[in-house]
Amino acid sequence: MILTTKQKNVLEFIQNFILTRGYPPTIREIAEGLGLGLNNIYSVQRHLKVLEEKGFIKRNHKKPRGIELLHFKLSNAVMVPLVGKVSAGFPIPAIEEVEGNIVLDAIFIRDTKNTIALRIKGDSMIGAGILDKDIVIVRLGAEVRDGDLVVAFVDNEVTCKRLQTDREYVYLVPENPDYKQFVLRREEARLYILGKVVGLFRRLD
């Protein structure tokens, strides 16, 4: 699930509050605990509504402490930053700002410090099951081999392709016959493998 930074902060505050006190916080306590002040209680209510709609919490509006965590223990969850977009067609300039966060169970992520999520733009990887607007999970600096799906910088632009190599060249191969592969010499400075694609996230609505 994708969360904004503010939604993530509210969710983590609820988690920590329950872990340390054994019961859920009130809306007033969330506002005060996040340093928002009582004038921002409506903002907290809005974030709680979104978290409930996304299935992270369940609320009983008849109780002041009526917040219940759902699905999994948040102590087993990790937040992976969603960073800009990745071209899966023709390269686009890399975007570095964080759009939000993907919440995943820790069982799926080995190295949380070096893992990011990137949004796909284009259809050049449809043969690998990666569609336009999908989000790929990328392990930065991971060892890559021929046949791996990678995210690479080419001329300071970023793209998602399948990696193939020989003694002289690196090939970034699309999974759509309508697109041409990138062919680069191994020593070319304009090529940098950012990381290996290790997961895929897709909204169905």
Helix, strand or coil, per DSSP, at residue 134: coil
What does the pLDDT look like over 157-191, one tens digit per residue?
A: 889 999 999 999 999 999 999 999 999 998 876 78
- Pair (83, 59) in one structural domain: no
CB 83 within 8 A of CB 75: no
User: What is the set of active-site residues?
Assistant: 124, 161
% of the chain beyond a pLDDT of 70 = 86
CATH of the domain at 118: 2.10.109.10
Range(s) of the domain holding residue 37:
2-71
Between CA 77 and CA 72 the distance in angstroms is 8
From 71, 103, 127, the end of a domain falls on: 71
From 71, 94, 126, the end of a domain falls on: 71
- Pair (56, 85) in one structural domain: no
What does the pLDDT look like over 99-152, one tens digit per residue?
A: 766 777 777 787 777 888 898 999 999 999 999 999 999 998 889 999 999 999
Query: Residue range 48-71: average pLDDT?
Result: 87
Nearest one of 77, 80, 78, 204 to 137, comparing CA atoms: 80
Between CA 108 and CA 198 the distance in angstroms is 9
Sign of CA dihedral 122, 81, 190, 156: positive
Is pLDDT at 71 greater than 80 in this prediction? no
Between CA 119 and CA 98 the distance in angstroms is 11
Q: What is the number of domains present in the chain?
A: 2
